[in-house]
Amino acid sequence: MDKTRIPGIAAGRLTKAEYRDNFADIHAPLSAHEALVEAQRCYFCHDAPCMNACPTHIDVPLFIRQIATGNPKGSAQTILQQNIVGGMCARVCPTETLCEGACVRQEAEGKPVRIGLLQRYATDALMDSGEQKFARAPATGRKIAVVGAGPAGLACAHRLAMHGHAVTLFEARKKPGGLNEYGLATYKTPGDFAQREVGYILGIGGIELRTGSALGDGLDLADLAKRHDAVFLGLGMGGVNALGIEGEDIEGVVNAIDYIADLRQATDKSRLPVGRRVVVIGGGMTAVDIAIQARRLGAEEVSMVYRRGPENLKASEYERDLARTNGVGIRLWAAPSRILGKDGKVTGVEFEYQDARGGTGERFTLPADQVFKAIGQKFLPACIGKAGVTLKGGRIGVDAERRTGVAGIWAGGDCVDGGEDLTVAAVEDGKLAAESIHRHLTAKA
């Protein structure tokens, strides 16, 4: 019997070979010859638009020239000096809208230099070699608490360690890495790369990692600030937005980000149950990631439904095309009005057609035995307690140096007002905050 056609939610819909192929690396890495040929396509622009388009301002022409001259490990050092999470960013950055989107080759020919793959080639070469390119400065005697071991926290901790400060890195989960470990599509970064990269970052020394340590649950921000010379908050977004509609608590309605985390940690993908007919509510990267992975787990029909038009979708055009080629149907201008069920289990979702003014009153129903909510996450302010940190737009308010309104406390990444929900942007926040903390501490010395 074809298990993909079994009604309801079931595990083991595919063969072992299908699971292996479906969750293999979506982009094969470049060979040495391919990297050399691709590097030689670069114009090595003096005022490089690709470099300006990168939130961490990696010197793209320089690192590509280093590849072209046979120095991939030196190239990796150029990358990691600006973005210590450059290996993961090479895999998951939306390069089509950042560096590659700004590439002169893209403007002239519609075919940019494949900067992301070149960055991966270089950083993989360095990590595979085991060579540590960064060293701590002499110890300063200063102690900094970094809360959250995601991209922002890791970048901040590494830069502070480079300056010789002692860092204690607190992480709520069992593993460090944040969304790089728990929140990305498995086919984008298979295997243990996230932990390998964390190992390289911590390899500089001077960073003590404490997992299972959550702010607001055993860790008090005001107390951390008293016991350390500075505190950096890289808390991410701990909550999930609710749909606020009838039927949201029916069996079969799942938070997409939680399911992705389970999928990322699963050593045997065949044990993850998935519906035959799946509806994903949302239009961002998480919605695309869960929709594609539902298909790759064996769902027969997957529909991604978004309440507004294509110009409002947060998922990039590349990601949308990837969804379509994986058999995901994308429906726009429809908002969920209620989730339907029978005997306590999901049977479908009722939607209302929308226009620019709101609901039109016209409705339709999509049958479903599993529904994924992917309408964004939210910051949970209760965790920061009574330290006096103020909020802006529901998240932590910071200035250009990522300083909060409380002396000695900085913040960055998704938890701050203006956070861009991008790994590379979180890295830049952590780096900016670390430099600000270092200036603050050395000015006091």
Number of domains in the chain: 3
In a domain, 151, yes or no: yes
If asked whether residues 71 and 160 sit together in one domain, one would say: no
What's the CATH number where 62 sits?
A: 1.10.1060.10
Residue 47 lies in a domain: yes
Residue 288 lies in a domain: yes
Q: Under a CB-based contact definition with an 8 Å cutoff, are residues 22 and 13 in contact?
A: no
Give every residue of the chain whose pLDDT is below 70, as ranges.
1-4, 6, 444-445
Q: Which residue has the tokens 């997957």?
A: 302
| 344/406 same-domain check | no
Q: Which of 129, 161, 191 is the last residue of a domain?
A: 129
d(CA 277, CA 12): 15
Do 252 and 365 belong to one domain?
A: yes
d(CA 283, CA 306): 5
Co-location of 274 and 360 in the same domain: yes
Co-location of 400 and 368 in the same domain:
no
Residues 59 and 80 in one domain: yes
Judge if 336 and 407 occupy the same domain. no
Query: Are residues 340 and 347 in contact, defined by beta-carbon separation less than 8 angstroms?
Result: yes
Quickly tell me which residue has 């040929």 as its tokens: 37
| Domain finish residue from 326, 343, 376 | 376
In Å, how far from its chain's centre is CA 437? 25
**Domain co-membership, 404 together with 297:** no
Range of the domain at 167: 143-238+379-444
- What are φ and ψ of residue 232, in 5° steps? -115, 130
> Burial of 268 by CB count in 10 Å (0-12 exposed, 13-18 middle, 19+ buried)?
exposed
CATH number at residue 437: 3.50.50.60
Q: What is the DSSP string of 14-80?
A: S-HHHHHHHTS-SSPPPPHHHHHHHHTT----TT-HHHHHSTT---HHHHHHHHHTT-HHHHHHHHH
pLDDT at residue 7, rounded to an integer: 77
414 and 325 housed in the same domain: no
Residue 27 lies in a domain: no
Q: Give a yes or no: residue 19 inside a domain.
A: no
CB-side neighbour CA atoms (13 Å) of 104: 12
- The predicted model scores a pTM of 0.95
Same domain, 147 and 229: yes
**If you ran DSSP here, which 8-state letter would residue 403 be given?**
B
| SS3 (DSSP) at 423 | helix
Q: Are 392 and 417 in contact (CB under 8 A)?
A: yes
The reported pLDDT for the residue numbered 417 is: 96
The verdict on residue 10 lying in a domain is no
344 and 226 co-located in one domain: no
- Please indicate, yes or no, if residue 82 is contained in any of the structural domains: yes
Residues in the chain: 445
How far is the C-alpha of 250 from the C-alpha of 229, rounded, in Å? Answer: 48
Last residue of a domain, one of 105, 129, 153: 129
Tell the burial category of 400 from Cβ atoms under 10 Å away from its Cβ (0-12, 13-18, 19+): exposed
Q: Do the domain assignments include residue 17?
A: no
Half-sphere exposure of 405 (CA within 13 A, CB side): 11
Helices 72-82, 60-68: axis angle to 10 degrees equals 170
The reply to whether 369 and 244 lie within a common domain is yes
pLDDT reported for residue 333: 98
Identify the CA nearest to 178 among candidates 130, 227, 211: 211
Cα-based distances in Å from 307 to 97, 254, 325, 346, 372: 23, 19, 22, 21, 15
